[in-house]
Structure 1
Amino acid sequence: MQVCLACALALGASAPAYAAYPDKPIKLIIPYPPGGATDVIGRIVALKLGEELNQQIVVDNRGGAGGNIGAEAAARSAPDGYTLLMGALTSHATIVTLEKGKLRYNLVKDFAPVMVVGSVPLVVVVNPQLPVKTLKELIAYGQANPDKLNFASSGPGAPQRLGGEIIRKDANIRMQHVAYKGSGPAMTDLVGGQVNMMVETVPAALQFIQAGKLRALAVTMPQRISMLPDVPSAPEAGMPSLDVASTFGVLAPAGTPEPIVTRLNEALAKLVQSPEVKELLLKQGVYAAPPTTPAQSAERISAEVARWEKLIHEANIKAEE
């Protein structure tokens, strides 16, 4: 009886701390400078999550080292629910392999995933002077003309690079990769004809597609998307393996109490189902993700790490490229 009473008292003592969460402002670390996709998405999440939790969420931009500085800071923070990370999950997942042995945090072990909140789809685009109008024609052209195709990307671990490598590997095409320091310069050269193909995020490519300066062959999603309704999905275009997006999610430091992670997860689930938030994200080219549990989110991140590790090794992608 005394043991049960002690247990009840202990539970009673701990319950108010979780019940009161959050009772002070929460910091959301964005591991990139202001203005980029992660920052824009993070600020929408910070505003609307703050309203849902009835507490201020302060954005803390900590750019540098490809997102590693901010991610490490979040991983080393107190696991109390008052420091979170707005993660660019696809990029973080590739860095695990590209920067192996150099990272001072572990994406899988040092975080408690809260929820995947959204993704930015990519689209295969070519310069209109290239004599192809479909993905199948692009593959046929590449196979018939070894080394005549090249593809641009914005960095070794970027989803753009991964998409290009999937096409090169699965279609067995000999084509040259051309590395750029960012999507802007890559798109400029693609439109100008210095390179002839790229797998780029839809928001970055959309204006060029609409202006007829680039030709869209397929979106890298299992189904068509509202921003490019006339462009076939990758499976429709004949390459179901071309399933890659720039994915974003909220992570807490490992060891954050389960009731707090659950509270955050439930709040985020409301957001990603809210028509207002869906519209705000879509204006930035982001499709809100279906709600997932923390466990499901963790499984997805682990699967991303494993998938991209395999591709990086097969394509011999190096961090310094």
Structure 2
Amino acid sequence: MLKFKPLSINDKALFEKYIKPYKFFTCDFSFIDLYMWRNLFHVEYCIYDDALIIRKKEFDEPYFFLEPLGYRMDNLEKILNELKDYKNGEHLIKYAESHFIKDLKALLPDKYIIEEDRDNFDYIYDTKRLISLSSNSLSKKRNNYNHFVKNNIYDVKIYNESLLKDCIYIIENWYKNCPKLHFLSHEIEAVHDVLLNFSILNLQCMVVYVYNEPCAFSIGEILNENMAVIHVEKADRSIRGLYSFINKRFAETFYKDILYINREEDLGIENLRKAKLSYNPIFLEPKYIIK
């Protein structure tokens, strides 16, 4: 019988034991991502047959599983059969990566329904292009960046715990002028939580001040030797070029030696999709639903 327990900060070492052997392209198996949203999505886990089983639920929907970590081809069918006994909705697994789909099709062809989940595809960018903004397709971003630099007195600070209140100030102001989406109110709590545990979680964070006022911050992590992830990026929309500035400066400060930057999914939100596409991702990493 599977016995699930809620995710806590104390589980970081255990999770990384299972996560580190993989070279994930998506953000969903970042411990930080799981920890940030553990309360909103009721993240729980257990160990079964030497595999890490993670389950989540989205709002009032039934629980679903992430692809098991640490499975072997000789025990994958056993694990999936066990998970089916705990499924109480249409979806058995969500956010599955391509490598898992390949294994599943090789082992159990035609046994499961597999669907692409476009709204949750992750946007992957070439780090050097985000830093240089040199291509013609990024000329608008480059112009906005130059406008900000030339027309503002600003300061950039690398995060320490004394800046927590400024990050919360920024995100609270950001929410006053954004669409009221059902999950966004939880982000303030999530940001506060991860920044309180900044040293444990190995985050990178930068805060931008314009005329001595806190106006933007970004939070990211190095997922593996090839991939960094931007988890949170908030800026005052009324300041032209501020988003372009923190995007570029954050990448060149922390990730200049990392090949790719993952800026997560668009969730099917039209304006967010437009914004992510405007930076010309080199590819979108697919995710799949398994029924």
The TM-score normalised by the length of structure 2 is: 0.31
Higher share of residues assigned helix: 1
Higher share of residues assigned strand: 2
Report the structure number with the largest CA radius of gyration.
Answer: 1
